[in-house]
Structure 1
Amino acid sequence: MVNRAMRVEVADSWHRSAAAGVEPDLAEAPITLPDADLRDYRQAHPLARVFPLLEDVLGQAARECDAVMAVADAEGQMLWVCGSAATLRNAESIGFVEGSNWDERMAGTNAPGLALRLDQPVQVIGSEHFRQSVRRFSCAATPIHDPATSRLLGVLDITGGDQVAVPQTMAMVRAAARMAESELARDLLSPPLPMPESSRGAYLVLESLGRGDALLAIDDGRGTTSKLRLSPRHSEILVLLASAPRGLSGDELGVLLYSEDGGSSTLRAELNRLRALLGDSLLASRPYRLVAGITCDWLAVEALLAAGDVRAALNAYQGPLMPRSEAPGIIRLREALNASVRQALIRSGEADLMSAWTRSSWGADDYEMWLAQRACVAEESPMRALIDGQIGRLDADLG
């Protein structure tokens, strides 16, 4: 029976699953890639290049939370399924094994299949699964694309129990997928690259944490590096394009930049000025996208969090992403990164890391962080009086 409250995309997936003939009481997903073919097939797959990175970054995190990490191709065939012996046995009970196919038309509603169908990150929680045998699991999955062609290569997934049914899991999976795409992009910096001849080998470094206007360094690939301090609007545009490797249409970019309609002509003018600044070889259109390798300080923080290195992530976090920007897309990115860093610090149980946060201008009034810090500090610690004083101050301010 369908839940009384069900997300639209999940309900649509249930309909597609039923229409494809998937039985709700089907115990296991079908095998479409036999063992005899699996090894050669996945060795030749583009994602084989980045699987060791994913295993190192996300596979270990999956083991630590009693979950499994899986990588599937664009058809939903599981190429790698990694985890502890116990979690792998648990996954086998529903046919979540290498060679099985989790396209929603074969395995019913699930995160890898739905992420492939929608071509976007997806979380499927417990009873949202179409098949009854899978409803004791939750999963989070995100697509991985070829950074040169935007072609869908496959999907990255974390599957486990209730412990993965949290927003942080989705953030971790997305960050790992971005790392994989960045690694693929680095490989593609050697010809042939599907970009204008003049931009081949070019690389951009964008710094936007704690800054109202981003700092952009351009390495032309021929030994020349130039640095630009961008205007706030050009900074926002580059941050948004860097966060969307497949590019954005003019309408999509407009929605992310302007809180109200009517910015299309202004956006065109801004893009023309930005193209004049960067050159046609670095900023392409239809869709708008950056045609060069790019490194961003906020993506580095996300990657460090995904790798479980909270201390390094905090050191790299120079403040909120473009803190004065009111562009809806920037606000969303800023709040997501801020929440990820905060929750990682709180979960770390490391009082010194929390102290570094509360000593910053952006964390000084973070009531939850002060409380978490107090819980980690012994009563006899000299820090206790300072912490209690700050909590008292906030109590008075908050009434």
Structure 2
Amino acid sequence: MTRSSKARDPIADGDRHAPDDAPRPVVTDSWRRSLAAGVDPGLASAPLVFDADTITGVRRSHPLDRHLTMLREALRGMADASAHLMVITDADGHVLWSEGPRAVRRRADGIGLAEGFRWAEETVGTNGIGTALSIGGPVCIQATEHLAHVLHTWSCAAAPITDPDTGQVIGCVDISGTKSSLHPAVVALAQAAARLTEAQLTVEMHRRDERLLARHLHRLRGDSRVLVTTTGRVLAADPDRWRDRRIVVPEAGRRVTLPDGRTAVAEDLGSAFLLRTVEGGRPSLKLRLLGDQQPCAVLDGRRIPLSLRHAELLALMVLHPRGLTCEQSSFHLYGDEGNPVTVRAEIHRLRGQLGDVVRAKPYRLDCDVEADFLNVRRLLGSGNVAGAVRLYAGPLLPRSESAAIKIERDDLGTQLRRQLLHRGDPDDLWAYAQTGDDDLEILGRLAAALPPGDPRRVAAQLREHRALSDG
């Protein structure tokens, strides 16, 4: 019995006291992980996960697919082509590519060291691929260092491949052979091939970065902003020392903490995120829903155009701060013929724009909200007619057919008009007339109140005459 095989029995039996001739710590640690995962040392083969039809699509979508030619040439150039098998896996240990002489491949097929089989530690136990992926570094597993007895005639050297963009392991390169030990040059070759692939991935990443910077650098002007990739790498920032650091990027509209502790909100640019610094602990949402202009939201300084349906939903949530059920929202928008499924779909899209400030069950806004129509109502309530009329850009969502929106729209317009006629001065009346409403009583009051020679008096008279003629 070899030195390594004698050392295995106490660990497999649960004895925590390793013998004096225990194998390398990297091996004993791997045995413990494998046994804890329930791996049977008497297993006959690795499990098959991908069949021949499935693996074709998996390969095509994997980032190492375009680097296969380089890996093949690098490994074939130094390895003994007559004795070794080249294996490339994904991050989960699935063999995607396997190449080597026919005799070696025939023996490898018997243990599942072939395309479509999984060689993670938790499925096969200690082995070059699985252990390299577990520890995140290169490793060489010789013969009886494997946990599974069926692998004792094999030795392998493997190294994980890390994507420099995400910082995550995306695969593993392995060289295996039916020998009791591998030459140190083979071990170095596996690691060199992994590093060469990472270098190529880095070149590709820098090219993408240059294109992103050229497209979005102009967005960094003005207030404090940070441009990051969708994987969280900082491409441009002030201070510049943040470059190449990583930030956990939230979904669009959510908040993130910058390296200096400030809070920023993520704006999704599609191929990158723009992080805008904001003040305060809660998100701030401003709604502009009055008048004929396109309704919009301003979330922590970021302007977001709104569709009519999204504007209606936001107005309803503002009017019902404690929240509405899906069915209630549907009724307010569509009446008895409303379909809650449609509302759910619109809420999902709205959350894609605004993030977590839109809550569900019930639908409500979880942020500091300022809405122009509410501000007009507040000013009218305090008797500030001048302030209200200057903020009033026109009726609330004039194109909306929602019964709830119509009630709020008509009530707000009626209150404003009543107070204007009761105590508004000529400037207030003129400001209201600029909203586009040819209100004959307002225009008549203007014509009577403004002095002769005032161009606004002439304009009011002309509009009053035109309105009477059209009527």
TM superposition score normalised by structure 2: 0.41
- The structure with the largest alpha-carbon Rg is 2
- The higher-RCO structure (CA 8 Å, 6+ apart) is 1
TM superposition score normalised by structure 1: 0.48
